[in-house]
Amino acid sequence: LALERNNVLLYENEERIRDFTMSKFGGGSSLVDVCFVLDCSGSMGDNIAAVRDNLGEFADSLSERGFDFRVAVVTFSTTVDDVWDFTNDIELMKSRLAGVDLWGGIEDSPSALYRASELSWRPGSRRTIIWITDEEYPEQNYTQEQIVNRMLALDIKVHGVGEAYLQTDWFNPIVLPTGGTFYDIYGNFRDVLLDVSRMESQDHYLLTLELVSTAPHDIRLKVNYAGLGGETHIVVNGGDTGLAKGLACYPNPFNPVVKILVDAFSGSGDVEIYNMLGQRVRHYALAPHQPSKIVWNAHDDRGLPVSSGFYLVTLSIHGDDGRLRHETQKVLYLR
């Protein structure tokens, strides 16, 4: 992404700001953290061996693409077993995988995925989990929704490798919202790892400006790039950055899901999605005092799929201060 200053429009209380600095930090473009979450029940011996046998080539593929990579492993069955935090020592990880004990039980994938999210992921890294299991899972400890929310909050993409009959009900509810891909467990695992290694890089930009007064500031940021973009804003009251209200939608364009993120606010709030005819197709009530993460799957309130095209995502906040705030972003659904 080659974002320039002229792609960015910055406003303070609707007055254009031209005096700001913009710097690109490349952490996201080169750092890659990959965690393998492996079912270690008795039937998974060959699959764990496939991870071990292909780990070196997977690492080489990442290196050839210029990534600074690390790998981690979490194994599980009824409980979370081995937890090996991130390292770039591939031979060490291969030796550990050779010693994994296989045992039976009810495979608790959600607990293992959550434990993986607690590892030492680097700030700005491309964060990927490769989750491999051949069984359904319980949701006593964590539900699918809780796992998705956790992964979205930490910007972790989850790829799934499993039995084809598990894809719809057990893998897709976690894999698709996080932007991952499902792979058949009987496919060539070497090809799976090489496909995952072809990840695209991402860039982060930091904008800095000076606010000299203590009056409330409504800062609005608008980005236009290659015919796409969006906008968000943050309200700073009395020189305090503690109260932020903003809307972000990504990816955009999207298929099959778009993630809608709303900053924490005080009061009551709603997100409504409208088609270009002005008809409301989806409504979400928001909980105050905490960030909200919505995954819209291009279905209306009745559960019916919507047609491709542009939609308006509208955030409405009725603040405790009596003010009504609106923010809108256009998203494009492609099929």
pLDDT in the model for residue 33: 94
The single-letter code of the amino acid at 54 is: N
Cα separation values, 99 from 233, 242, 311, Å: 51, 49, 52
Nearest-angstrom CA–CA distance, 57 and 124: 24
Q: Which residue has the tokens 């080489």?
A: 60
**Could you tell me the two tokens for 93?**
């990880």
- What are 164-195's pLDDT values in tens digits? 999 999 999 899 888 889 999 998 889 989 88
Domain with CATH 3.40.50.410 in the chain: 27-197
Amino acid 100 reads V
Burial of 299 (0-12, 13-18, 19+ CB in 10 A): middle
pLDDT value for 242: 36
Q: Coil, strand or helix: which one is 133? A: coil
State which fold the 5-22+211-333 domain adopts: Immunoglobulin-like (2.60.40)
| Homologous superfamily of the 27-197 domain (CATH) | von Willebrand factor, type A domain (3.40.50.410)
pTM for the full predicted model: 0.56
- Taking the C-alpha atoms of residue 69 and residue 59, their distance in angstroms, rounded to an integer, is 8
Q: Where in the chain is the domain with CATH 2.60.40.4070?
A: 5-22+211-333
Burial degree of 4 (CB within 10 A; 0-12, 13-18, 19+): exposed
> Looking at residue 232, what is its pLDDT?
65
**Amino acid sitting at position 162:** G
Please give the Cα distance from 179 to 183 (Å, whole number). Answer: 13
| 16's tokens | 């254009």
* 231 CB-near residues (< 8 Å, 6+ apart): 220, 221, 222, 223, 327, 329
pLDDT tens for each residue of 198-218: 876 556 677 777 766 555 667
- Structure token pair of residue 153: 């909050």
Give residue 234's pLDDT: 63
User: Going residue by residue through the chain (335 aa), what tens digit of pLDDT does each one get?
Assistant: 567 888 888 888 788 888 888 876 544 458 899 999 999 998 899 999 999 999 999 999 888 888 899 999 999 999 999 999 999 999 999 999 999 988 877 899 999 999 999 999 987 788 999 999 999 999 999 999 889 888 887 889 999 999 999 999 999 989 988 888 999 999 888 998 988 888 765 566 777 777 665 556 677 788 876 665 666 666 554 444 333 347 888 888 888 899 898 887 778 889 999 887 778 899 998 888 777 889 999 999 988 899 888 898 988 888 777 777 778 888 889 87
Query: Residue 242: how many CA atoms within 13 Å on its side-chain side?
Result: 4
* pLDDT for the residue 153: 76
